Amino acid sequence: MIRTEEMLLNVGPQHPSTHGVFRLVLKLDGEMIIEATPVIGYLHRGTEKLAENLQFTQIIPYTDRMDYLAAMTNNYVLCHAVETMMNIEIPERAEYLRVITMELGRIASHLVWWGTYLLDLGATSPFLYAFREREMIINLLNEISGGRLTFNYMRVGGVKWDAPEGWIEKVKEFVPYMREQLKGYDQLVTGNEIFLNRVKGIGVYTKEEALNYSLSGANLRCTGVKWDLRKDEPYSIYDRFEFDSITAETGDAWARYQVRLQEIEESLKILEQAADQIPAQGDMIGKVPKIIKPPQGEAFVRIESPRGEIGCFIASDGKKEPYRLKFRRPSFYNLQILPKLLVGQNMANLIAILGAIDIVLGEVDG
Amino acid sequence: MMLGLAKGLTYTLKNLTKKKLTYDYPNEPLPLPDRFRGIQKFYPEKCIVCNQCANICPTDCITLTGKKHPDPKKRGKIIETYDINFEICILCDLCTEVCPTEAIIMTNNFELAEYSRDELFKDLQWLDENDQNLRKENKA
């Protein structure tokens, strides 16, 4: 008789396919996963606690380091929360620059996801193509903000710099170029039979489960829930642009792939319109007092980051520093469904399921 | 049956003939935009010891001291020591943003690797001598 027993296997924290320092303790029966326990906190820096001793302008560089693949949205959510509390009006041109940089960031983030997800599944070349285009976006953002990933670009009341000369034109040129590349991506991967066999029907969850686990972003929309804060709760100037919120029906990894790729297309639409509509001149910062002191009280705002709903809660006691700052970090919430998805799956599917959730560990751990 | 695979392969083949995208770094310097936030350059003669840079620094990496102006007719202070600890500096640019006299500005230099941690502690003299690739546009 063959004696079988369960095996405990550690995946990570240093493992290339966990996209950072994420650890999974797996209980295996042969190749089958019976139980998965995620262990997080390896990248915990206590951003929220640190912020209690910092002025609001000083917190902005810290938000760069949460979701480091799309730092512009993090910059924005903090500034937006403070602006909501203080009723600050943002100049027109600054608002457009914010939207353009945020959408560029969204494309860059989805490109990293696309590239690394395919890399996880064993295809090396898509990664190189994705990073080719991402590098162009990063160069654009580097030109405007002075940083490749940690932009520190937005300020309470506006943005730090105006766009350098010719920058808007470069964005305009980038849009048709990226559209062309997207077709290439579809040609390269979307019809690939090996890829389809790997992603179709794995990591499936229903609409109700997604809502119960409070998933957001592409992870929610892949089940058919049309919920995109840019459309449903327009912040900034998103109500001025025409674009769709993309949904898919099946709720598997393949649906999430489709949603994210099509979202790049929608972001390009926004970029195109924003680059056309942006006023030629204008202030970069609105009427902001020299020392930023939000009035006593609380505020919560949420916006659509590439990974889902990112929220910022500020409790202020009228001082320069927040009394309490809390971020609703979408990666952290999206990750919670992972143990449920992994049960009963083959070991080889683990990476495909984890990758499809699209987490950033800087954001999970905070 | 394997049509998708073949289609993907044509994309790869099409890209074979394209121009190389990589840089020959470090043999050639990396082209960077003017606004790039690199290691700071410090002008001791411009500094008025107002402490704003040290106060705004989110990681508290700047320490400075001033002394009385040697010329008794002049008021105010002049800088005596100015240190930046690059172990914790995140090059966020806030120090240059608040400086009223542009005594501290960013450069395009980013190579900070050192053999020991102590060497990352840069003093006034080092920051003054860091005068290559200065940033032209310093105030928004």
pLDDT per residue as tens digits for the range A154-193: 999 899 988 898 999 999 999 999 999 999 888 888 888 8
CA-nearest residue to B135 within chain A is: A146
Question: In the structure encoding, which two tokens stand for residue B108, read together?
Answer: 């395009």
Whether the per-residue pLDDT at B68 is higher than 90: the answer is no
| The length of chain A, given as a count of residues | 366
Nearest CA of chain A to the CA of B77: how many Å? 24
CA-nearest residue to B6 within chain A is: A192
CA–CA separation, A113 and A348 (whole Å): 19
What residues of chain A lie within 8 A of the CB of B7, using their CB? 187-188, 191
What residues of chain B lie within 8 A of the CB of A254, using their CB? none
pTM above 0.95, yes or no: no
Q: What is the mean pLDDT of residues B91-109?
A: 90
Identify the structural domains of chain B with CATH numbers, from first to last.
Answer: 36-129 (3.30.70.3270)
Does the beta carbon of B22 lie under 8 angstroms from any beta carbon of chain A?
Answer: no
Whether the per-residue pLDDT at B1 is higher than 70: the answer is no
CA–CA separation, B140 and A226 (whole Å): 40
Per-residue pLDDT, B137: 78
* DSSP sequence for A42-57: TT---HHHHHTTS-HH
Per-residue pLDDT, A7: 87
Contacts A–B by Cβ distance under 8 A: 76
CA–CA separation, B110 and B113 (whole Å): 9
Contact A164 B92 (CB under 8 A): no
CA–CA separation, A247 and A221 (whole Å): 5
Does the beta carbon of B93 lie under 8 angstroms from any beta carbon of chain A?
Answer: yes
Whether the per-residue pLDDT at B115 is higher than 90: the answer is yes
Chain A residues whose C-beta sits inside 8 Å of any chain B C-beta: 54-55, 57-59, 61-62, 125, 129, 132, 135, 139, 142-147, 150, 152, 160-162, 164, 184, 187-196, 284
Per-residue pLDDT, A101: 93
| Amino acid (1-letter code) at residue A35 | E
CA–CA separation, B50 and B81 (whole Å): 13
The sign of the dihedral angle between the CA atoms of A90, A96, A97, A102 is positive
Residue A78 contacts residue A51 (beta carbons within 8 Å): no
CA–CA separation, A230 and A228 (whole Å): 5
Q: What confidence tens digit (pLDDT) does each residue in A247-264 have?
A: 999 889 999 999 999 999
CA–CA separation, A361 and A42 (whole Å): 9
What residues of chain A lie within 8 A of the CB of B1, using their CB? 193
CA–CA separation, A2 and A366 (whole Å): 46
pLDDT of chain A, 366 residues: tens digit per residue: 777 788 888 887 887 777 788 898 999 888 899 999 999 988 898 899 999 999 999 999 999 999 899 899 999 999 999 999 999 999 999 999 999 999 999 999 999 999 999 998 888 888 999 999 999 999 999 999 989 999 999 999 899 988 898 999 999 999 999 999 999 888 888 888 888 888 988 989 999 999 999 999 999 999 999 999 998 889 889 999 999 989 999 889 999 999 999 999 999 999 999 999 999 888 888 888 888 889 999 999 999 999 999 999 999 998 899 999 999 999 999 999 999 999 988 888 888 898 898 888 888 887
Whether the per-residue pLDDT at B138 is higher than 80: the answer is no
Contact B21 A135 (CB under 8 A): yes
Q: What is the mean pLDDT of residues B69-98?
A: 88
Does the beta carbon of B6 lie under 8 angstroms from any beta carbon of chain A?
Answer: no
Nearest CA of chain A to the CA of B9: how many Å? 7
Largest CA distance in chain A: 81
| Count of CB atoms situated within 10 Å of the CB of A164 | 14
Q: How does residue B89 score in pLDDT terms, banded at 50, 70 and 90?
A: very high
Identify the structural domains of chain A with CATH numbers, from first to last.
Answer: 44-344 (1.10.645.10)
Best of B19, B62, B93 to substitute, by most chain A Cβ atoms within 10 angstroms, is: B93
Q: How does residue B30 score in pLDDT terms, banded at 50, 70 and 90?
A: confident
Question: In the structure encoding, which two tokens stand for residue B34, read together?
Answer: 């003017």
B105-132 burial, b if ≥16 CB within 10 A, otherwise e?
Answer: bbbbbeeeeeeeeeeebbebeebeebee
Contact B8 A147 (CB under 8 A): no
Per-residue pLDDT, B140: 62
* DSSP sequence for A168-213: HHHHHHHHHHHHHHHHHHIIIIIT-HHHHHHHTTSS---HHHHHHT
Whether the bond into B26 is cis, omega within 30 of 0: yes
Contact A146 B1 (CB under 8 A): no
Question: In the structure encoding, which two tokens stand for residue A77, read together?
Answer: 């959510």
Residues 6+ apart with CB under 8 A from B27: none
Per-residue pLDDT, A5: 81
Per-residue pLDDT, B135: 85
What residues of chain A lie within 8 A of the CB of B97, using their CB? 160
Indicate the average pLDDT of chain B. Answer: 88
| Amino acid (1-letter code) at residue A106 | R
